[in-house]
Amino acid sequence: MFLNQMMEDYKISNNKRSIINTFIDRLWDSEYVFKKYKKQYKYEVMGELLDNREDLIELFNKYNVIEYTVCRSFYKKKLESIDYIRVRLNNMFGFLFDKDVYYNRKYYNLLLTPKKEYFRLVNIKKEIGNIDDVKYEDVYNNIENAFNEAELIKLESIDKKHNVSFSNYKKLINTYIERIFNNYVSIEEYEKDHEWKLNISVDGWSEDNYVIKYFCKSLTGYIKMYIRDVLNKSNKFKECDICKILFKPTTSSNKYCQICAKDVLKKQWKIASNKYRHKT
């Protein structure tokens, strides 16, 4: 799918909605779905490197595999243009909304404490030949304190995230797609309007790269505005009865967001028209 061609076709099309629907379907049908998986910090405990101290061996064996959750955010192979947008959307959802991933960096550093403590003792053993002066309680407290701090940081990170499910996130993103299509300015138009000349010498660069960057920046901006203007001021907003996305009502009786309200009116009009035809 060549995004640049799609954007150009949209400008002259008499069926713009069809092009937008095609784009939306392809975006969410991408094989690069939002996927979480487990990673591990691990190390092998060698008893002889700890002077065969049973207390320390038992302690480090308890923590020699530490799991944490990440989401897939990087792919080595070349993707189709629209897939780069999908990957950006996945990462943004994980960073802003998913409560299992993208915590403060310090959290992940603290999870490494048992491994760091282990190799600290190994280095002491190498330097002076024994670890007789190492106290079990000190090592244990270093690990426990780090894990307690990590848990607090995790809770703080989760607290900063907003309650938006992935299904509602998709609906929210879809509401911005038409706006992004309508606001698109091609490279040629931008060069003409701003008396600016694009100078790219990187092999493999195409106008699709320009479109990808435009989409990613636009969607990031819209989501940040949604958080600022809606989620952070949710007392002024209502939840749509159908799609569950927050919207700003114009009257106290409003139950639907603008998009769902249009669908409801269409259905009501169709029912009313059928009743009228039956009467006549």
Q: Find out whether 67 and 52 touch, Cβ atoms under 8 Å.
A: no
Kindly report which listed range (86-90, 117-121, 268-272) carries the lowest average pLDDT score: 268-272
Q: Find out whether 237 and 172 touch, Cβ atoms under 8 Å.
A: no
Instruction: Give the model's confidence band at 166: pLDDT under 50 very low, under 70 low, under 90 confident, else very high.
Output: very high
- Mean pLDDT over 120-149 rounds to 96
26 phi, psi to nearest 5 deg: -65, -35
Distance in angstroms (rounded) separating the CA atoms of residues 256 and 260: 6
The pLDDT of residue 276 is above 80: no
* Predicted TM-score of the model (pTM): 0.78
Q: Which residues, other chains included, contact 36 with Cβ-Cβ below 8 Å and sequence gap of 6+?
A: 69, 70, 71, 72, 94, 98, 100, 101
82 or 194: whose pLDDT is higher?
82
- Which residue is associated with the tokens 């713009």? 16
Q: How confident is the prediction for the chain on average, in pLDDT?
A: 88
